[in-house]
């Protein structure tokens, strides 16, 4: 039995129709290369007829060879009542010079008469002529039957007639499009099965996610016999998006014994998603199945206890199979065993029933009640444990800081900070200006500390986030500040909470600096051993 | 035929197990009220046994009456080898004093022997005893059969025996949990159908989204006869999340003739999602079906052409049915007509081709580029239009403000603000202390202005939010501050952007005050006419 499913990625065409997405020619080239590396069968890379930037892309990429991917150009059937040879869009499609083309045509009678406003007969001729023309030019032709399922529900004879026209034109593939995205998996299975039984041509499926069921609809079409799956790699596209191919690939290849991409590339499923999100410049939804940062993150105490005994207790697959990883989150709902493993990193002698363990749980509950959250602030969490276990001594003592901010009507605004600290009995006092009070404080503190700890010169802040807690109390509310720092090699994150945003930032800043200094000492100790 | 589906929302319990989510007691109360308003049947609001904050919540809410919602407390079966009466967690569950309780127990033999490490027989006794005990206390008991589908696939007899034990204990509901989230809709349908046929008790479904098919799995269980649907309103929960109830409700109620929530509340589906995201302080995935901001956003040229001729050509439902709206992206024309209607509220003589219209579009583009966003800040938006059309004069002139913040090692911290303003040639200078610099500034400004505008005494800030833009530049990044204000009758929202959080807050504060003063004048004018 042949269990191959051809994956057809439209990130660069349907994906580019998502809100907030725009690709440069260079972006597109990077994405095609990444998808080829995985072993994706088809990459639909643009609509050369409607978009000159897409035509430029096809020209730029024309000399590049791909190992697994057939580059595909997208376009519509010829316009009504003209010859295929006279249709500019079809000419642009040929100019794109790709081995495969995807042609969409109307399968829903309503769209024919009300949207493109031609006759039902002419629409069938448009489908047949266009495909025959492209076949005569040596192309592999994928026919996208737009709105096929809505069309079938409204007028099954006509929807099937559109596929018949494509067959007569010589189409290599009949792809059934669930364009408006609102269909249900039981309908998809039934209708797809009927098409597979009726036509001796390979069938594909193209789903949108407006009912939140694109993945299931796609899987059900495959169960009914479809062997091509169209979608976009991380699911963005018009409106709610296309089906997320990373989810479909993992579902089919890991659980239904289908072959979608190269077996040895399954471990790159997650990193490829990150790369595409990076290139597209979008923040990925971290709860995305398989590839999201939270996909294997455990927070509930019983869940953490379960996975620590046996991962399969709360994981449907081993995250390493898709290049993702398990994460254990710290919070009020996570239990003792997580905490213990973190405490044992600082002091291996701590046991589950050591008094320190319960004390630390109490401390954490108190801190969380105050608004602390350690999930994204592992470094502050480690410092809390160290302080708790007596494995901490401060690197400096604060005498005071003062902030002075002046904002004059004539736009002469300044933020400045004074900091006075003591290290080993030596005082240091500094002052700095910044673009705001927190920036000024950050600069003044570093300036003071660099005298004693020159390695802090390489540290800089990479990310700064503010969350207002209990927003109802407005400017009296508590704020939580998260800071991500780096020294060029490592990344670490710290947190501070206060009703005063400057104080919350101060707490997170101090943790960031102390964490760096502790790690430097540990490294020296390791090198010495 | 009874087509009622009972919706069971676990945002406050399973949802709180999502990464990055933490609810205060006030947050929880707000969410229960919002869900009750929709007509949600059950709200699972916490696990009083494992979490003292949850118990506090149940105590706080105990005197509140809900119209449609049964408050539900969550807990596990009794521990192995003890009597139900001696189990502390069960005692806490009773202390929560809710009409319904949800009890989870093990249905997967593997979990019994390997995770909770007891015998298969004792686990069945734990289920039966616990439910019988809670029934004897007059509770409605929902039995959550954890890992039911995985259990069924591994040992169907034992999985069914766990349901039998629940039945013998007197359970009101058998809820089949797809805990690990990796099952397929065809399996769910088949197995659920078998349970529905075997047991004379109402059946429910609880799905997670690790395979991206939670919505479809839930729908297939309903097709098989389940009449309770558990999930979380916008889909957050452990790992990839629970099934998104907003999607399930819309799918079932609009397309499968089921009754999930009050018919006249369907139009509040979207605003309720926004409210929950706001309270949870998470950025919603805007591509979420039905309720996302992009759910009905059209970008491709042919799509825009289609919906302008007939919305159903590219929309599976009318967005107004769920309180969402159609958006046409990157279309100057549609942008203009919306803007025009807002301008005409200030000056009815403005036309589409008036020079003011294009000028305002340019101004808005510039402001948006700077980081302004007016979707949640209609009042600042109106002020921008007024300033643009010359329908604005300032109510006061700022001479300067100064912030002094001192933070001493011994905990003697103060934030104070000086403000000097002029109104009609008269200077006023005030000083105030606050719990942080923004609070101090807020107080000082009000104190100064109340001399001239006593009606400001009734204004207070209801909400204060901070978003860091371009977080990569850390403490030098721009911040956007959103302030919601009220005078007890009206609510209005204003926005300020700056690299300096104090300045951004100042801008939003000033807009808030001026907006109030303008509205007061308008009201007086209206009363006079």
Distance, in Å, from the CA atom of A254 to the CA atom of A266, rounded to the nearest integer, reads 9
Lowest mean pLDDT among A249-253, A267-271, B458-462: B458-462
- Nearest Cα residue in chain A from B421: A409
Contact assessment for residue B168 and residue A199, using Cβ atoms and an 8 Å cutoff: no
Q: What is the mean pLDDT of residues A350-372?
A: 84
Q: At what angle do helices B437-450 and B501-528 cross, to 10 degrees?
A: 30
Indicate if the pLDDT at residue A330 is higher than 80. no
Q: Express as a percent the part of chain B with pLDDT over 90.
A: 67
- Check residue A464 and give its pLDDT: 83
pLDDT band at B332 (very low <50, low <70, confident <90, very high): very low
Per-residue pLDDT tens over the stretch B234-264:
999 999 999 999 999 999 999 999 999 999 9
User: What are the pLDDT digits (tens) for B443-466?
Assistant: 999 999 998 999 999 888 887 888
Mean pLDDT within B422-441: 92
Do residue B35 and residue B160 come from a single domain?
Answer: yes
Residue B113 sits in the same domain as residue B192: yes
Closest-CA distance of chain B to residue A364, Å:
13
Is residue B169 one of the residues assigned to a domain?
A: yes
In a domain, A386, yes or no: no
What CATH number is attached to the domain comprising A404?
3.30.160.270
Q: Which of B177, B436, B448 to mutate to test the interface with A (most CBs of A within 10 A)?
A: B436
Residue A301 maps to a domain: no
The pTM score is 0.75
Distance from the Cα of B273 to chain A's closest Cα (Å) equals 15
Report DSSP state, residue B69: P
Q: Decide if B318 is inside a domain.
A: yes
Domain presence at residue B285: no
Say yes or no: B20 and B82 in one domain. yes
Q: Tell me B47's DSSP state.
A: -
Q: How many C-beta atoms surround the C-beta of residue B326 within 10 A?
A: 17
Q: Label residue B472 by pLDDT band (50, 70, 90).
A: low
> Of A280, A303, A336, which residue constitutes the final position of a domain?
A280
Check: CB of residue A151 under 8 Å from CB of residue A162. Answer: yes
- Based on the fold, state whether residues B258 and B349 are members of the same structural domain: no
What is the CB-side half-sphere exposure of residue A261 using CA atoms within 13 A?
29
Biggest CA–CA distance in chain A, Å, is 93
> A377 to chain B nearest CA, in Å?
11
Q: How many Cα atoms within 13 Å fall on the side-chain side of residue B229?
A: 36
Query: Is pLDDT above 90 for A122?
Result: yes
Residues in B touching A331 (Cβ below 8 Å): 22
Give A 211-250 residues with CB within 8 A of chain B.
211-213, 215-217, 219-220, 223, 235-236, 238-241, 244, 247-248
Residues B322 and B340 in one domain: no
Q: Check residue A375 and give its pLDDT.
A: 67
Same domain, A73 and A211: yes
Within 8 A of A218 by CB-CB distance, chain B residues are none
Q: Is residue B345 domain-shared with residue B253, that is, in the same domain? A: no
Greater confidence (A343 vs B315) lies with: B315
Considering A211-220, A340-349, A438-447, B319-328, the range whose residues carry the highest mean pLDDT is A211-220
Q: Tell me if A475 and B236 make a contact (CB, 8 A cut-off).
A: no
Tell which of B369, B388, B407 closes a domain.
B388
- Name the residue range of residue A187's domain: 6-280
pLDDT for position B331: 37
pLDDT tens, residue by residue, A162-200: 999 999 999 999 999 999 999 999 999 999 999 999 999
B333 pLDDT band (50/70/90 cuts)? Answer: very low
The enclosing H or E element of A477 equals none
Tokens of B201: 């008790």
Residue A319 has pLDDT above 80, yes or no: yes
- The mean of the pLDDT values for chain B is 91
ipTM greater than 0.90? no
CB-CB neighbours of A476 under 10 Å: 17
pLDDT band at residue B168, thresholds of 50, 70 and 90? very high
B216, with CB counted inside 10 A (0-12, 13-18, 19+), is: buried
Q: State whether residue B311 sits within 8 Å of chain A by CB.
A: no
Report the C-alpha gap between B300 and B328 in whole angstroms: 9
Distance from CA of B348 to the nearest CA of A (A): 33
Residue B334 has pLDDT above 80, yes or no: no
Written as one string, the DSSP assignment of B384-442 is: HHHHHTT----S-EEEEEEEEEEEETTS--EEEEEEEEEETTEEEEEEEEESSHHHHHH
Check if the beta carbon of residue B134 is closer than 8 Å to that of residue B100.
no
Contact at CB, A184 and B301, closer than 8 angstroms: no
Query: Do residues B384 and B244 share a domain?
Result: no
CATH number at residue A110: 3.20.20.70
B210, two tokens:
């690790």
Q: For residues A466 and B471, what is the distance between their CA atoms, to the nearest angstrom? A: 10
Q: Tally the domains of chain B.
A: 4
A392 part of contact set with chain B, CB < 8 Å = no
Q: Give A484's strand partners.
A: A463, A493
The reply to whether B519 falls in a domain is: yes
pLDDT over threshold 70, residue B477: yes
Contact B17 A439 (CB under 8 A): no
Q: Helix A120-136 vs helix A156-169: angle between axes, to the nearest 10 degrees? A: 20
Question: CB pairs below 8 Å between A and B: how many?
Answer: 372
Residue A98, in any domain of the structure? yes
* Mean pLDDT estimate for chain A: 91
Q: Compute the residue count for chain B.
A: 529
């Amino acid at each position: 039995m042949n269990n191959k499913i051809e994956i057809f990625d439209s990130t660069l065409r349907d994906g580019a129709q998502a809100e907030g997405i725009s690709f440069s020619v260079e972006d597109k080239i990077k994405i095609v290369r990444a998808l080829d590396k995985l072993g994706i069968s088809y990459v639909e890379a643009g609509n050369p007829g409607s978009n000159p930037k897409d035509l430029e892309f096809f020209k730029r990429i024309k000399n590049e060879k791909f190992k697994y991917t057939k580059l595909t150009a997208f376009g519509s059937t010829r316009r009504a009542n003209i010859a295929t040879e006279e249709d500019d869009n079809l000419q642009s499609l040929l100019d794109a010079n790709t081995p495969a083309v995807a042609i969409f045509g109307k399968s829903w009678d309503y769209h024919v008469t009300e949207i493109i406003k031609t006759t039902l007969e002419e629409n069938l001729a448009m489908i047949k002529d266009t495909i025959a023309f492209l076949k005569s030019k040596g192309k592999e032709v994928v026919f996208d039957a737009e709105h096929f399922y809505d069309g079938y529900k409204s007028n099954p004879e006509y929807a099937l007639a559109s596929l018949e026209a494509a067959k007569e034109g010589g189409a290599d593939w009949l792809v059934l499009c669930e364009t408006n995205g609102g269909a249900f998996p039981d309908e998809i299975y039934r209708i797809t099965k009927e098409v597979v039984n009726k036509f001796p041509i390979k069938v594909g499926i193209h789903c949108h996610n407006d009912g939140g069921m694109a993945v299931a609809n796609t899987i059900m079409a495959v169960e009914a016999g479809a062997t091509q799956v169209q979608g976009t790699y991380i699911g963005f596209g018009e409106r709610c998006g296309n089906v997320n191919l990373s989810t479909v690939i993992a579902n089919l290849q890991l659980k239904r014994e289908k072959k979608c991409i190269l077996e040895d590339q399954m471990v790159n499923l997650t990193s490829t998603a990150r790369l595409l999100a990076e290139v597209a410049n979008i923040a990925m939804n971290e709860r995305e199945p398989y590839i999201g940062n939270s996909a294997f993150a455990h927070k509930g105490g019983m869940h953490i206890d379960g996975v620590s005994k046996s991962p399969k207790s709360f994981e449907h697959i081993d995250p390493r199979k898709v290049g993702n990883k398990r994460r254990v989150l710290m919070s009020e709902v996570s239990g003792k065993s997580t905490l213990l493993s973190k405490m044992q990193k600082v002091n291996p002698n701590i046991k589950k029933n050591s008094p320190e363990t319960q004390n630390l749980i109490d401390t954490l509950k108190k801190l969380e009640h105050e608004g602390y959250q350690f999930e994204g602030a592992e470094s502050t969490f480690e410092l809390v444990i160290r302080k708790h276990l007596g494995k901490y001594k401060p690197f400096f003592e604060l005498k005071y800081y003062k902030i002075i901010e002046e904002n004059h009507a004539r736009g002469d605004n300044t933020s400045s900070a004074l900091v006075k600290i003591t290290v080993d009995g030596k005082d240091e006092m500094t002052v700095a200006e910044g673009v705001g009070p927190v920036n000024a404080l950050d600069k003044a503190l570093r300036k003071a500390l660099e005298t004693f700890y020159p390695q802090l010169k390489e540290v800089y802040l990479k990310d700064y986030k503010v969350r207002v807690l209990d927003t109802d109390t407005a400017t009296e509310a508590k704020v939580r500040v998260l800071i991500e720092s780096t020294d060029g090699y490592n990344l670490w994150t710290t947190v501070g909470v206060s009703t005063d945003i400057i104080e919350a930032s101060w707490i997170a800043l101090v943790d960031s600096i102390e964490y760096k200094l502790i790690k430097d000492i540990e490294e020296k100790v390791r090198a010495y051993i």
